[in-house]
Amino acid sequence: MKHKILFILLLSLSFLQAQELNCNVTVDYSKVPNANPQLFKNLEKSISDFVNKNSWTEREYKPEERISCSMYITINAYENNNYETTLQVQSTRPVYNATYTTPVLNINDKDFSFQYIEFQQMYFNPNSFDSNLLSTLAFYCNLIIGVDADTFSNLGGNEGLENAQEIANIAMPSGIKGWSQTEKTQNKYFLINDMFSPTFKPFREAQYQYHFLGMDKMNINTKESKEAIINAVNSITKIQNVRPNAYLTRIFFDAKADEIVTIFSEGPTVDVTSLLENLNRVSPTNSVKWEKIKK
């Protein structure tokens, strides 16, 4: 009996180590009149457990390797177990040999509607579309894992991204907004399919150039690291040349704009003439920020 209990404990520990995410989930219900706080707190806990306690890939993660991320859900309307929300998804990763964490993803999904009955079981079947809540959460969990892996190895995030693509393919026939290729807006379908398009390959290559060749080596050779980050921006510029105002381009700078300004506003100095030209051409909405970069 003791051996059986020990086996169960060891099995439980190995399962825990396989979990990939350390995600802070927040449900903001301040826009809902006469809200029942406990209802939304239970939703918040259910989502947090679903995201953090599931294993999304085959790889085992040590506790210290779990990816720090957050999901901020704003409830815009609620009636009869139907929720209309927006979802802000962010992730970071540590910088090697530093106490600093660098932002990787910052995505605002404005079309996230779902049904949720309090205390319902949240079980995700990757082979079926059971609810928009489960599929959307699972999609972003796998996206976070895939892009994070791309930052450590060039195009190394295929497993997570392929999982996200399969979720999108299964969800697409549902007709629920956010999954269809017929929508004119930028949505989850276009986001994940662009990840595997040769046209947008520079986005994934830029993740490796920026983080592993740039940020992770900043304490070793700051000037060379800055050059690597410039190369990452140059990679994103390749997308602009064929697909102006692409969704992935915006996603890159939504995460990185403030950090780029900080990096190139401090010494040692490098030639930023071409960098500024590219930044203003590829991300003109951040032109006020780019003005802070010292020439």
**pLDDT, tens digit, 9 for 90 and up, residues 1-32:** 444 343 333 334 434 445 899 999 999 999 99
In angstroms, the CA 192 to CA 207 distance is 15
Instruction: Answer whether 203's CB lies under 8 Å from 236's CB.
Output: yes
Instruction: Answer whether 215's CB lies under 8 Å from 225's CB.
Output: yes
Type of residue found at 91: S
In angstroms, the CA 7 to CA 13 distance is 10
Structure tokens at 70: 């957050």
In angstroms, the CA 150 to CA 22 distance is 18
Q: What is the pLDDT of residues 176-189, one digit of tens each?
A: 999 998 887 789 99
Q: Shortest CA distance to 74 belongs to which of 19, 15, 27, 38?
A: 27
Instruction: Answer whether 166's CB lies under 8 Å from 157's CB.
Output: no
What integer pLDDT is reported at residue 1 of this predicted model?
A: 45
Instruction: Answer whether 154's CB lies under 8 Å from 208's CB.
Output: yes
Residue 216's SS3 state is helix
Q: Shortest CA distance to 228 belongs to which of 270, 262, 195, 284?
A: 270
Task: Tell me the backbone φ, ψ of residue 68, rounded to 5 degrees.
Answer: -80, 130
Distance of CA 182 to the CA centre of its chain: 23
Q: Shortest CA distance to 46 belongs to which of 110, 133, 166, 126?
A: 133
What integer pLDDT is reported at residue 183 of this predicted model?
A: 84
Q: Is the alpha carbon torsion for 18, 88, 213, 205 positive or negative?
A: positive
Instruction: Answer whether 234's CB lies under 8 Å from 278's CB.
Output: yes
Q: Which residues of the chain have pLDDT under 50?
A: 1-17
In angstroms, the CA 131 to CA 178 distance is 13
What integer pLDDT is reported at residue 117 of this predicted model?
A: 94
What integer pLDDT is reported at residue 60 of this predicted model?
A: 83
Q: Shortest CA distance to 123 belongs to which of 42, 21, 20, 54?
A: 54
- Whole-model pTM: value is 0.92
What integer pLDDT is reported at residue 111 of this predicted model?
A: 85
